[in-house]
Amino acid sequence: MPADRRDLPRTASKPPLSGSLEPLQELVADDLKQVNAIILEKMQSPVALIPQLAGHIVAAGGKRLRPMLTLAAARLCGARAQREYALAACVEFIHTATLLHDDVVDDSHLRRGLETANAVWGNKASVLVGDFLFSRAFQLMVADGSLVVLKLLSDASVTIAEGEVHQLMTANDTATDEQAYLEVIEAKTAALFSAACEIGAVVAERPESDQLALRSFGLNFGNAFQLVDDILDYSAEQQALGKTIGDDFREGKITLPLVLAFARGSDEEKAFWRRCVEDLEQRDGDLEQAIALMQRHDALRDSKDRARRYAEQARRDLSVFPNNPAKHTLLQAIDFCVERLY
């Protein structure tokens, strides 16, 4: 009889990766320059601390993924009015404001290896400048003049705030279930991805079906993106690349790998999680034990499966649009998101 495929030795090689953010970055590079110019202009204020603090977090920002999604979605839908520039800046201001508030709530002192604004200027200044950036975002919405856009982004802002409060309610609580976790990441992360994408169809004046497709795409992509981030915090691949792992564990942050491992664990294991996560009484070797428990109960594997399912749905959401360079770059961005796990 032929050998069971499960008994065959696994090859050490990995399939070539097809995903990348580079095509998306190249597609919107010129448009993003316009967006960055608006960001720099609108974060100015005669109150000197505001541009100083805002400039710190904007300069330390990531890849501008959310505004890039707005720009690519607008390209996908054939927008020509360039309204998307100011609205992409608006999306980035909302995101940056939430980062300022998050770092205060989480008492974080580092973000992407740099000191957080609250570590440099204190909590009060960070909260107030976050409020300023939220207000600037609403000025940009009003200047656009569309009630549809105003409703879209104001609804997203409310949802994000609700997600922040929901996360606060579940902080360090091992009783948090999968549904509660998914509700938090959908509100905190995916809602803004969703709005950022839907704007592209709105400014292009596309039918409601296209708006709904991009809304769903952003939501599924955002959920996959956050799930992957949460999984990577316990990833041996990250550690092999010299990247810090275990930050979420050290903070007692409730993410899906932890939720699944706790739910499937023995009474003794649950006591371990409560000590580490609820009481934050952590000892040498606890992170390694946490990862071992996640592996024992397939918590990391099943979390990856959930991320892949969201990514697959995001791909299906784009199927209603004709093939063009913008669609291709968005599909590659989805692949990049999931391939970070391997």
Give 202's pLDDT tier (boundaries 50, 70, 90): very high
Asked whether residue 243 carries a pLDDT value surpassing 70, the answer given is no
Concatenating the DSSP letter of every residue in 206-243 gives: --HHHHHHHHHHHHHHHHHHHHHHHHHTT-HHHHHTT-
Asked whether residue 138 carries a pLDDT value surpassing 50, the answer given is yes
Give 5's pLDDT tier (boundaries 50, 70, 90): very low
Residue 255, domain member (yes or no): yes
Residue 320, domain member (yes or no): yes
Q: What is the mean predicted confidence (pLDDT) over 110-128?
A: 83
Give 112's pLDDT tier (boundaries 50, 70, 90): low
Q: What is the mean predicted confidence (pLDDT) over 194-207?
A: 96
Residue 154, domain member (yes or no): yes
Residue 44, domain member (yes or no): yes
What residues make up the domain containing 143?
Answer: 19-337
How many domains, the chain? 1
Give 236's pLDDT tier (boundaries 50, 70, 90): low
Residue 51, domain member (yes or no): yes
Asked whether residue 158 carries a pLDDT value surpassing 50, the answer given is yes
Q: What are phi and psi of 305, to 5 degrees?
A: -60, -40
Residue range 29-38, pLDDT digits in tens? 999 999 999 9
For the chain, give the mean pLDDT.
Answer: 89
Q: Side chain identity at 22, as an amino acid letter?
A: E
Q: What is the mean predicted confidence (pLDDT) over 171-185?
A: 95
Give 238's pLDDT tier (boundaries 50, 70, 90): low
Question: Tokens standing for 168?
Answer: 């606060």
CATH number of the domain at 65, please.
Answer: 1.10.600.10
Residue 9, domain member (yes or no): no
Give the 3-state secondary structure percentages of the chain, helix then strand then coil, rounded to 5: 75, 0, 25
Asked whether residue 59 carries a pLDDT value surpassing 90, the answer given is no
Residue 13, domain member (yes or no): no
CA distance 24 to 206: 22
Residue 12, domain member (yes or no): no
Q: What is the mean predicted confidence (pLDDT) over 54-77?
A: 88
Beta strands per DSSP E along 59-202: 110-111, 114-115
CA distance 121 to 96: 16
Residue range 246-277, pLDDT digits in tens? 889 998 999 999 999 999 999 999 999 999 99
Give 24's pLDDT tier (boundaries 50, 70, 90): very high
Asked whether residue 61 carries a pLDDT value surpassing 80, the answer given is no
